[in-house]
């Protein structure tokens, strides 16, 4: 991937990076407020999230599930501006390994990409759907993709990234996920090898990589030019050991506290952020701690502590604006 296109894919403002221009723009997301669905009785509302994420000291946020925040661009823009917030990215799930799935996925992506672009976001985080139900653990399809299904997925992801950029000017950042077909380190390496770096880069979710037994630093070392976006997250090794021993689904793992606020889990944040700083890129690093379901009073103090911790890691490139 050329320097120009890499810079354009990672920067929040579309400008190219210059020498020693590394900026790690830290924000937060609805996920850190326990939000997994557009509407759910076990979640906080959009107003509480927006008020609290701003009060916790973050400027950058993601959309979360489409429909949680206002879907009218003017309404969303007003809600963000009133709190000094800006949008880094939208988020959508995909199942492009399935035959005939393009239109259904594109319809969802188009809504998210259009809204993201309309309020100044430059990225859409694309996540593979899970192969088993996150709550019940019921298998929805095979754990591993056939060769044909893998080829279909990677080919259609290339197509999706190109279409998103050409239609809406947003970059596809692919997010490996627990209990999906792209979660382990080997699967990530294979995915990056089989996709086009011009239109597809990696949202490195540090927690999901660790959850699946991977090494975040090894991925950065192997593919520094494909790191287009970050989700900062830690996991509790003791809970992960239980998850592996009992083959628990992701939703149950989250309820057990698999995702934990830093610095109480893995991977260690200071060396990871220091290595990202060395890449000399302007990149978003969005805090995501899966908390669904949680009581309304739980997320805000965690968000405050996490911001304080990340700001104190001694990494000069870490910014909150």
**Do 188 and 210 touch, CB atoms closer than 8 A?**
no
Rounded to two decimals, the pTM is: 0.93
CA–CA distance, 299 with 305 (Å, rounded to integer): 10
For the chain, first and last CA: distance in Å?
A: 28
Residue 32 predicted with pLDDT over 60: yes
Structure tokens, 240: 């992960």
Confidence of residue 21 (pLDDT cuts 50, 70, 90): low
pLDDT of 14 strictly over 80: no
Rounded CA-CA distance 128/295 in Å is 28
* Cβ-contact 154, 194 below 8 angstroms: yes
* Antiparallel, parallel or unpaired: β 171-174 and 123-128: parallel
Element (H, E) at 60: strand 60-62
Q: Which residue has the tokens 């992701």?
A: 250
At which residue do the structure tokens 């699967």 appear?
187
Low-confidence winner among 74-88, 113-127, 132-146 (lowest mean pLDDT) = 132-146
| pLDDT 10s digits, 128-174 | 999 999 888 899 999 999 999 999 999 999 999 999 999 999 999 99
Going along the chain from its start, the domains and CATH numbers come out as: 3-319 (3.20.20.150)
């Amino acid at each position: 991937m050329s320097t120009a296109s890499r810079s354009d894919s990672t920067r929040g403002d579309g400008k190219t990076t210059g020498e020693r221009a590394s900026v790690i723009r830290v924000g937060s997301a609805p996920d850190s407020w326990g939000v997994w669905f557009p509407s759910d009785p076990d979640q906080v509302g959009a107003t509480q999230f927006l008020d609290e994420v701003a009060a916790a000291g973050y400027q950058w946020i993601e959309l979360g599930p489409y429909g949680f925040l206002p879907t009218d661009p003017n309404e969303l823009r007003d809600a963000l501006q009133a709190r000094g917030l800006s949008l880094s990215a939208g988020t959508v799930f995909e199942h492009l390994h399935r035959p005939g799935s393009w239109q259904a996925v594109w319809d969802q992506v188009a809504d998210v990409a259009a809204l993201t672009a309309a309020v100044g976001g430059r990225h859409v985080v694309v996540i593979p759907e899970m192969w088993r139900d996150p709550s019940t653990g019921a298998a929805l399809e095979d754990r591993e993709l056939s060769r044909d299904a893998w080829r279909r997925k990677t080919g259609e992801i290339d197509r999706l990234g190109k279409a998103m950029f050409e239609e809406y000017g947003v970059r596809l950042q692919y997010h490996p996920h627990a209990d999906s077909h792209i979660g382990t380190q080997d699967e990530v390496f294979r995915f990056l090898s089989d996709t086009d770096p011009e239109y597809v880069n990696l949202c490195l979710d540090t927690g999901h990589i660790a959850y699946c037994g991977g090494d975040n630093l090894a991925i950065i070392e192997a593919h520094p030019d494909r790191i287009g976006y970050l989700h900062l997250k830690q996991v509790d090794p003791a809970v992960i050991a239980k998850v592996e021993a009992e083959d628990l689904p992701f939703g149950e793992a989250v309820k057990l506290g698999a995702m934990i606020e830093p610095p109480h889990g893995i991977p260690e944040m200071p060396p990871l952020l220091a290595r990202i700083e060395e890449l000399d890129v302007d990149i978003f690093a969005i805090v995501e701690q899966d908390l669904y379901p949680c009581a309304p009073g739980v997320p805000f103090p965690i968000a405050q502590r996490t911001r304080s911790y990340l700001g104190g890691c001694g990494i000069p490139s870490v910014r909150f604006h």
